[in-house]
Chains A and B, each alone.
Chain A
Amino acid sequence: MRCPRLLLLLGLVLAACTPPGAHNTGIYLLVDTSGSYNRQVRKAEQITLYALSRLQSADSIAVARIDTGSFTEKDIIAKATFDDRPSTANQQKRAFASHVEKFIDQSTPAPYTDITGGLLQAIEFLNEKHPARKEILILSDMKEDLAKGYVRDLPLDFRGFDVVALNVTKLRADNFDPRLYLTRLDEWRARVEKGGGRWRVINDLDHLDGLL
């Protein structure tokens, strides 16, 4: 009679001591600052504020720009992992929002668009944080334009990642031939899904409810 009780107690203790699974979220927002998209940068603030309002303690967020060579920490504009305590997390959110706002006010157009480099940086950043849910948000027209000498033809490991393209605007050429736009999106979809990730496109920024 005593033995089963001891076993039950032991089981309960073990269950209580089992390391809990991660519940946090990691978000990496890539903002395209190339010449063709720089006018849309202001929308990055809207997305950042939305993301901040949905994030909780222990969640991580980073905002980085896409420019000529984006596979670098220098392109990260702001990053934060929110504190355990809700009050401190709120202070961090306010500081983060202020930082992003300052960047947007001072943003200058970049000559090239290195989306792949930005994605590599995002994967690296989020993998370091070990969040339970990893989301890469790309505010861009998804038109990659690499400078000479940049090699970006490499497979990306998107396993466990949600990649969301936001506000993918149509270029002048897309208007002449919509197939260009569709092909561009299909190529990115194929690339993400081939890497094991999930791909989504949200063009209506007034309805971001399903984003996080």
Chain B
Amino acid sequence: MSMTSLFAITPWPAVSAAILLILLVAALYFARDTAHQAIQASASTLARGLRLAAHSVTHAQERLAARNRQVLLAAGREAKERIVEREFVRVGDTVRKDLAGYPDMHRRLSESIQRIAEDQEKAIEVPPDVPGWAEAVKVVAELDARNAGADILADIHKSMVKAHAEAINDYRKASAERHALLRRMMPDWRLIQDTLGRVNRSITSVLDRSQAIDRHMEEYEAIVRGEDRALAVLSSSSIVYFFVSALVLAVATAGTAVNFTLIARPMAEMVGGTNFIGAFRTADIAALVIIMVEISMGLFLMESLRITRLFPVIGALSDKMRTRMVITTFLILLLMACIEAGLAYMREVLLLDEMATNALLRGEEAGSIVNTHLWITTAAQMGMGFVLPFALVFVAIPLETFVHSLRTVVGLTGIALLQVLALLLRLLGNASRHLGALAQRAYDLPLFVPLWIESRKRAAAHDAARPRGKSDASALREART
């Protein structure tokens, strides 16, 4: 039934429209309670569903947070164990080094001290002998004989002067010997000083290390206890490591691109320039494979050297086997580097050939412009071709950091996303409840006339009921009084 036919129920469309409107409003008015219930039920159901979903997402977020916490703590614990282990190894090395030399040091110190003691014994100052003439002079001086005493005294004086001179000489000689002995002590003193200085340095180093170990152990204990502070530190460190390692990996990727450019063209000479695997040239894929093999060898080399710990199997190998792996991977890398250098040289040769052909096709004299410094670029290309494989070896270190920190960062991102999702779901739940109320009001909007009449009728009924209620109240008051 079209709108035109609806408007044609009376000869006057306006009247038809009015009748239809009245009928519609009446229908809506009579269905009002049911419609309100339906709207209310729908809004409540939707709100409950969204709230349930929000709870579920919050629960998932909590589980993810707990898992992320465990991962972080485990990673932090492992890292701290490695650090403490390394510190202990250093302390062990220091102690072993010093204790190994301790008997020798003790012997040298004892000898030096003994020598010093002997020299000191020898260097004791012997007081000069008291002249024996003093008593004799006294006796002679008490004699009565005049001239005889004077002569004797003169002789005594002469002898005393002579003895004094001799004593002075002896004293000087003895002093010189003592000084010589003291001078001989100097190297021993220095030896003792140096030895004690070394001991002091070793002890200070051990003390420093022990303090560092104490600090690391405190942090380790905090991690084991699962303290929030330790977790926050680990989390922020992990994010920093993630971005730094991503930056270094980006640089390494650029290096890989340069490496690829160096060897892709000459690879076409080896595997053909027109073969395709899928949408990619076989030569490009071959060049990429070579670079990937180099990176893999670098990973194995780093793993064998125990610098990285991406493959526990390699780390668990015996030292002999690991040494073999180090040698093998290094030789393969060396071979690859030599091949790359050769390919880089081949690239230059091919470029020159192509330039010559193009010059000929352009009608120019081939080789009319000869660059005398071309060997520099050739050498640079060969050098890069040789060095880049070894440079790519170190990609293993940021790669390991990236892989480890990625877990944490992905976990943190997931937590943040789930939090936002839960918030959105909660907001939508509340919004759906309010939208239900709004829909009820919107439903009532076209029904304002019957609703107004209804409210007037209700008011009138209320007014009619109020006087009777009022008289009942006054009768009750009178009864009380």
Q: Which residue of B lies closest to A51 (CB)?
A: B361
A90, B278: Cβ atoms under 8 Å?
no
Given contacts A86-B269, A87-B353, A90-B354, contact A57 B274 (CB under 8 A): yes
A58 at the interface (CB under 8 A from B): yes
B362 at the interface (CB under 8 A from A): yes
Given contacts A23-B276, A24-B274, contact A86 B361 (CB under 8 A): no
A16–B356 alpha-carbon span in the complex (Å): 36
A21–B278 alpha-carbon span in the complex (Å): 9
In the bound complex, residues from chain A placing their C-beta under 8 Å from that of B187 are none
Given contacts A57-B268, A86-B269, contact A97 B274 (CB under 8 A): no
In the bound complex, residues from chain B placing their C-beta under 8 Å from that of A52 are 361
In the bound complex, residues from chain B placing their C-beta under 8 Å from that of A97 are 360-361
- In B176-235, which residues have CB < 8 Å from any A CB? none
In the bound complex, residues from chain B placing their C-beta under 8 Å from that of A93 are 357, 361
A53–B358 alpha-carbon span in the complex (Å): 6
A173 at the interface (CB under 8 A from B): no
Give the shortest distance, in Å, between A75 (CB) and chain B (any CB).
24
A16–B272 alpha-carbon span in the complex (Å): 17
A86–B277 alpha-carbon span in the complex (Å): 19
Q: Contact partner of B277 among A16, A90, A94, CB < 8 A?
A: A16
Contact with B along A6-27 (1 / 0, CB 8 A): 0000000001101011011000
Most A-side CB within 10 Å, residue of B279, B360, B362: B360
In the bound complex, residues from chain B placing their C-beta under 8 Å from that of A57 are 268, 272-274
Contact with B along A139-157 (1 / 0, CB 8 A): 0000000000000000000
B161 at the interface (CB under 8 A from A): no
In the bound complex, residues from chain B placing their C-beta under 8 Å from that of A85 are 268-269, 272-273
In the bound complex, residues from chain A placing their C-beta under 8 Å from that of B362 are 49, 53
Q: Chain B: interface residue count, which band?
A: 20 to 34
In the bound complex, residues from chain B placing their C-beta under 8 Å from that of A49 are 361-363
Q: Which residue of B lies closest to A15 (CB)?
A: B278
B275 at the interface (CB under 8 A from A): yes
A20–B275 alpha-carbon span in the complex (Å): 8
A87–B360 alpha-carbon span in the complex (Å): 15
A56 at the interface (CB under 8 A from B): yes
A21–B268 alpha-carbon span in the complex (Å): 18
In the bound complex, residues from chain A placing their C-beta under 8 Å from that of B274 are 23-24, 56-58, 84
Give the shortest distance, in Å, between B421 (CB) and chain A (any CB).
26
A50–B353 alpha-carbon span in the complex (Å): 17
Give the shortest distance, in Å, between B44 (CB) and chain A (any CB).
40
In the bound complex, residues from chain A placing their C-beta under 8 Å from that of B276 are 20-21, 23
Q: Which residue of B lies closest to A48 (CB)?
A: B361
B41 at the interface (CB under 8 A from A): no
Given contacts A15-B278, A90-B353, contact A84 B272 (CB under 8 A): yes
- In B333-350, which residues have CB < 8 Å from any A CB? 350
A86, B360: Cβ atoms under 8 Å?
no
- In A45-68, which residues have CB < 8 Å from any B CB? 49-50, 52-53, 56-58
A58, B273: Cβ atoms under 8 Å?
yes
A85–B357 alpha-carbon span in the complex (Å): 14
Give the shortest distance, in Å, between A89 (CB) and chain B (any CB).
8
A84, B273: Cβ atoms under 8 Å?
yes
Q: Which residue of A lies closest to B363 (CB)?
A: A49
A16–B265 alpha-carbon span in the complex (Å): 22
A50–B363 alpha-carbon span in the complex (Å): 10
Contact with A along B243-285 (1 / 0, CB 8 A): 0000000000000000000000100110011111111000000
A-B contacts besides A57-B273, A86-B268, A94-B357, 16 pairs, CB < 8 Å: A20-B277, A20-B278, A20-B279, A49-B362, A50-B361, A53-B358, A56-B273, A56-B274, A58-B273, A84-B272, A84-B275, A86-B350, A86-B353, A87-B269, A90-B356, A97-B360
Closest 9 CB pairs of A and B: A84-B272, A58-B274, A20-B276, A57-B273, A90-B357, A53-B361, A49-B361, A57-B274, A85-B269
Interface set of A (CB-CB < 8 Å, partner B):
15-16, 18, 20-21, 23-24, 49-50, 52-53, 56-58, 84-87, 89-90, 93-94, 97
Q: List 24 A-B contacts (CB under 8 A).
A: A15-B278, A16-B277, A16-B278, A20-B275, A20-B279, A23-B274, A24-B274, A49-B362, A57-B268, A57-B272, A58-B273, A84-B273, A84-B274, A85-B268, A85-B273, A86-B265, A86-B350, A86-B353, A87-B350, A90-B354, A90-B356, A90-B357, A93-B357, A94-B357
